[in-house]
A and B are shown apart, each in its own frame.
Chain A
Amino acid sequence: MSEEKYIPKSKIAQWFDSRLPLLSMAHHLREYPTPKNLNYWWTFGGILTFCLITQIITGVVLAMHYVAHADLAFESIEHIMRNVNYGWLLRYVHANGASMFFLAVYIHIFRALFYGSYKAPREMIWIIGMIIYILMMATAFMGYVLPWGQMSFWGATVITNLFSAIPLVGEGIVTWLWGGFAVDNPTLTRFFSLHYFLPFLIVGLVVLHIWALHIPGNNNPIGIDIKQRSKDTVPFSPYIAVKDLYALLIFLIIFAGIVFFVPNILGHTDNYIKANPMVTPSHIVPEWYLLPFYAILRAVPSKLGGVIAMFGSLFILIILPWLDTSKVRSAVFRPLYKIFFWILVADVLALGYLGAMVPEGWYLFFGRLATIYYFVHFLLIMPILGFKEKTLPLPTSISEPVLDGKN
């Protein structure tokens, strides 16, 4: 998708642009040809960018008041909540912002799964996106440790202990992660440092993610390549930008509703009890966005096996572009895949639900069933479907009227 070369009008701008083509880049971002049939599921990229920026700004500000020390962290959070001007607002936005971030990223990922956005020639976008997602989970997990409540402490203990499953070196790695013989002050300070650092790494990867996107251009609900640029695309600004903005505002209404009226609904009450290494809460659960993986971890009866299954469930996503053998991108034209897609959504939701339950009896049984299905979907159904499925005829272009109104 080559655009005509942009030449600034004024002499000064030309001088500047020929040395540092920022103006050309801005022009490219404005004029970037975008399929005109993008629906609202495509607005979550913009929403995610907003979430990332919000988290960084509120985070930097909170770090001005937060004290990363095992004896003072809990109290410093209360200091922020009670004394710092608008501290309660900043903290609730940051804490719930993480949840909103994950909500948006899950929708973004499932959109890509439905419309086949991970397929050639967009594999790099998908892989970078998955790395961002994994880094997001690491960042969120370490952020959750910082208030140094009971869930922080025991969550950190349980998750870092995952590494002890590694044969031979496991114990050593865990001690190294802790900087001691249990989760303690050294663990807290290093988590704070990394929690501050990783988001900037994510920013870098987001730039690459968007760069990689702008090479082949956007996928679209129909999933076919764009043939007539003039007819099938619109410039990003203002058409797509205003649509993204509208979607963002709706998203913000939900966000504000949570922050202002039920700010603790997604948190756990135990995290308002200061960390106590001598008392474990009766039931340890991670934040909701990690629950599906927690369910997979606990579904496998062996310690090492559970850890492998959990990391494997993420790795499978990275290699997904090569597991899907179908030539057709969008699920709109894949009647069978469409059904399996919704089963997968239900399966992941079920895993999330089961991750919050005590793994006993039927919960454990269904947890195992859902885990097995998760892997079957990606390792068996996806490759086989590509060969066996009878797809619907594809339209020749986005503006072809045959398929209008069929989403």
Chain B
Amino acid sequence: MFKYFGIRLLALIPKLFIISIIIFLGLQLVPGDPISRTVPPDKLAEMDEEKVALLREKLGLNDTLFERYGKWIGDIFKGDFGYSLSTHGEINKIIANRLPATLELAAIGLLFATIFGLLFGFISAIKQRTPIDYSLTTLGIIGISVPQFFFGLLAILFFGITLKWLPVGGRMGVGEQAFFDRIQYLVLPSFILGIVYIATLMRYTRGSMLDVMGKDYIKVARSKGLSEVNVNIKHGFRNALIPIMVIIIMRLPYLVAGTVIIETVFNYPGMGSMLVFAISGTDLPIVMITTLLIAVVILLASFLVDVLSALLDPRIRLGSDKEGA
């Protein structure tokens, strides 16, 4: 089995390599002199041509495409992500500030979504073809139809402005550093972030649960005289959970994508709002690094999916020898 995981892990490397090349080439296609992307314009205007030429040489802009790619990827491996064009700050520091914020938001969103998604799906399945089931299913469709940011704006208006229960945006107030002070800022964005996820999980949980409840061993459990609660939870839900675990991880990248919109709606200082800001300001170094980071996260998630599916279903890891990695 470890051999299978090893092969899967190694297969990530060429994918990551291809993605990094695409990102790098994308940057080369952007019109404009690359030096204007590396040196602030006001400083560039002060310099005479000789100095610019010298700088060009120093920055390695006269090298071949191949050499420049090597330098770029080498710097990233050394942990040097370069400088932002708009704020001129070190990208390392910016990310160190913003990554924890996004992780916090995504983790709590995931927690919300998993609890409610599983709960609603479970109820929907054991109450199949009742008004409860129909209304939950319809709510699920509404959840994926109404734009997330529109939900967010409505929530700000209602809970933030009208009722004044929760702050309307941001991550912390003045002097509120502790997690418990920050949690009120997280409630709305993380819940809104989770809505689409809840709807998806609910649908899968319902389907998987119905699948399991039709199996013979459920009939056996019932005929042994076990209570309905016992049958539903211990025998039904536990087994239905197995494919759901895979779905939870598989859909994780979509949760990450959601943070981009949600952070913008709530003015939340995370990676998502940073990316939007960088794209609107054509701050390409930040865009490239963020894209690469996202790619790493997504590929790791897909690796986790493979591992989980293999652990849960022996047919997959045994069949893998024929297919190759």
Physical interaction between A and B: no
B residues at A contact (CB < 8 Å): none
On A, residues with C-beta under 8 Å from B are none
